Structure 1
Amino acid sequence: MQQTSWDVIIVGGGSAGLSAALMLGRSRRRVLVLDEGSPRNRFAGHMHGVLGRDHTSPLDLLADGRAELERYEGVTVRGGIAVDARALDDAAEPGSTAEPNGRGPRVALELADGERLHARRLLVASGLRDALPPVPGLAEQWGRGAFICPYCDGWEARDRRIAVLAASAAQVHQAQLMRQLSVDVTFFAHGAELTAEARAGLIARGISVEDRAVAAVVADDGGRLRGIRLVVGTELATDAIFAGPVPEPNDPVLRRLGADRAPHPMGGEFVVVDAMGRTSVPGVWAAGNVTDPRSSVPFAMAAGSMAGAAINADLVEEEVRAALAASVRRG
């Protein structure tokens, strides 16, 4: 199988991964970005709260980012799915083109097509999947009439009929955020157990609480959101739904490498990183939604930029050590 080496391999070509590649490309690093082409926000026609790009396509942002990277000759962005990863010994494996200088960690990746890649450092920025509540019709509305983030899509639903479809009691806060934007908000408990305090807080602000179970999300003949049907047959009209999917990080590479993970307040377990994105595995960083489901586009871009700078600094430190060692040997 073909083997190729890079200074840095970035798994994920979203906001975080491309931002890291930009920093590394500007430092004249040889960088490969592997992009599966399925960013988390691909269902959304517009992104919001992104300074200078408000109400523009998230896919256009990524296309512009890839175009910007073309000026840096060391950066390559292409499709690819990493299926396996492992740390290498200090010396390069037989057959690899990696520099066997014995001065730092190395990581080997295997892609779905059998290609093998080696890198001095690895950044995982592969995002996450939103596991939606199993309500018929909800998936068809995702990104169109149904959303997750009040800050990302709430303004567009202002002064309209808003439904908050609970997967857990955590959506109480989501409903309270939506109340800032409309006087017509209904909280569909959908089996979530509300504390007396939470229920009182909803009612006190004029938020209706619907305890009857939800049967389906209903669209009109044109596919536009029409309402929510209850199991008793009643249909309640709504203009926008805000739901709370379960975040599932796309982290098989980090799992294979044995990176430390920890429970997240929003559910699930996510990789543990420091302020610069470094994981517990030497030579491996992570950034964006694969580390935190709350990471919006601006946060992901910032995290990727910081990780790219940190990785370059780490490589420089390794090169200083190698130069000093070579000087001692010569002298």
Structure 2
Amino acid sequence: MDDVIIIGGSFAGLAAALQLGRARRKVTVLDTGLPRNRFAGHSHGLLGHDHKPPLDILAEARQQLARYPTIRLVNVRAESVSGTIDDFSVLTGDGESLGARRLILSYGVADQIPDVPGFAEGWGTSIVPCPYCDGFEVADQHWGLVWSGPQSRNYVRLYHDWTDTLTVFADGHDIAPDIRADLMRQNIPVVDGRITKIARHGGHSATVKLDTAPDVAVDILFAHPRNKPSASLHDAMGLVTVNTPFGIALKVDERRETSLPGIYAAGDLANPQMASVTTAISHGATAGISAQQSMLV
């Protein structure tokens, strides 16, 4: 039996494994090899790894974990989870049944890409969600924002640190008159109509095509599609979740423990506020340390 099984081997999961391996705890990491940021050419804002491809950072991390004999990395999907603290069971996609005293869920979320031609092809390059991740590279250029609800007003305020040229695409949303008036005072145009297609031009540039308005070209388009957990293991275990403007997230305490004792969660799966590699690593390390300390005699 393992001390801990970690389901999801991206940044949060590997950070948890590192802490547990250094504590000489027996750990198995199950991973499908499909991290959320695999569409991005570079990862930004991670100290020591700024502007590196995220898949390269993960590959280097796996190589570093190889020096810890108690860590096992397995490229397989976790199909089901059952049990209680000190006696959890995980069934893998290849039919293996694994046991562990603790579980860490770090299988992340999947972005629900809208059915708009060109959106999927541009996701992670010309269409991005995070100014902290990509804003510096396109600072002082023409940004576009696909309105997604009341939270979009905060994005407008946030973007001013990077650019003064912004166009808002309503995309069928009913933007309140007072918000429209505020945007007008800031010289931020609002383009009505549904987005019908996004044409990509090179690295970041994109042309937004609409059903009732002329095309609009921008240097970068920010969008925030809803997301959902990449697996449903938490549902099967009855873990408490919270609804956010972006989707469903697992509820955890300051130690990253979920509503079921012995199960911890880290990464985007349990962090609806700030999706970033730095935060995922921090929360993953916390989950690993918390799981290890919970097993002390």
What's the TM-score, normalizing by structure 1? 0.85
Find the residue that maps to 1:10 and give its secondary structure.
Answer: strand
The Cα of 1:224 is off from its aligned counterpart by 6.7
Q: Of the candidates 244, 249, 258, which is equivalent to residue 238 of structure 2?
A: 258
Match of 1:153 in 2: 134
Change (3 A) 1:212 1:295: closer
Partners of 2:289 and 2:47 in 1: CA distance? 22
Q: Of the candidates 248, 263, 268, which is equivalent to residue 247 of structure 2?
A: 268
Find the residue that maps to 1:77 and give its secondary structure.
Answer: strand
Partners of 1:219 and 1:312 in 2: CA distance? 47
The Cα of 1:136 is off from its aligned counterpart by 1.7
Partners of 2:152 and 2:134 in 1: CA distance? 15
The Cα of 1:223 is off from its aligned counterpart by 8.3
Count matched residues.
296
Larger Cα Rg: Structure 1 or Structure 2? 1
Deviates more, 1:239-248 or 1:130-139: 130-139
The Cα of 1:250 is off from its aligned counterpart by 2.2
Counterpart contact for 1:149–1:242, Cα < 8 Å: yes
The Cα of 1:269 is off from its aligned counterpart by 2.5
Match of 1:101 in 2: none
Change (3 A) 1:77 1:186: same
Partners of 1:49 and 1:226 in 2: CA distance? 24
Partners of 1:63 and 1:223 in 2: CA distance? 25
Residue pairs, 1:49-198, within 5 angstroms: 49-88=45-84, 105-198=86-179
The Cα of 1:212 is off from its aligned counterpart by 2.6
RMSD, aligned α-carbons = 1.7
Match of 1:99 in 2: none
Which blocks of at least 5 consecutive residues in structure 1 are unaligned? 89-103, 321-331
Partners of 1:254 and 1:213 in 2: CA distance? 35
The Cα of 1:271 is off from its aligned counterpart by 1.3
Percent identity between the aligned chains? Answer: 38
The Cα of 1:200 is off from its aligned counterpart by 2.3
Deviates more, 1:147-156 or 1:223-232: 223-232
Partners of 1:247 and 1:292 in 2: CA distance? 12
Partners of 2:184 and 2:204 in 1: CA distance? 29
The Cα of 1:36 is off from its aligned counterpart by 0.8
Counterpart contact for 2:3–2:102, Cα < 8 Å: yes
Deviates more, 1:189-198 or 1:146-155: 189-198
Partners of 1:224 and 1:186 in 2: CA distance? 15
Residue pairs, 1:222-237, within 5 angstroms: 225-232=205-212, 234-237=214-217
Partners of 1:162 and 1:17 in 2: CA distance? 33
The Cα of 1:251 is off from its aligned counterpart by 4.0
Partners of 1:142 and 1:135 in 2: CA distance? 11
Partners of 2:203 and 2:276 in 1: CA distance? 28
What's the TM-score, normalizing by structure 2? 0.94
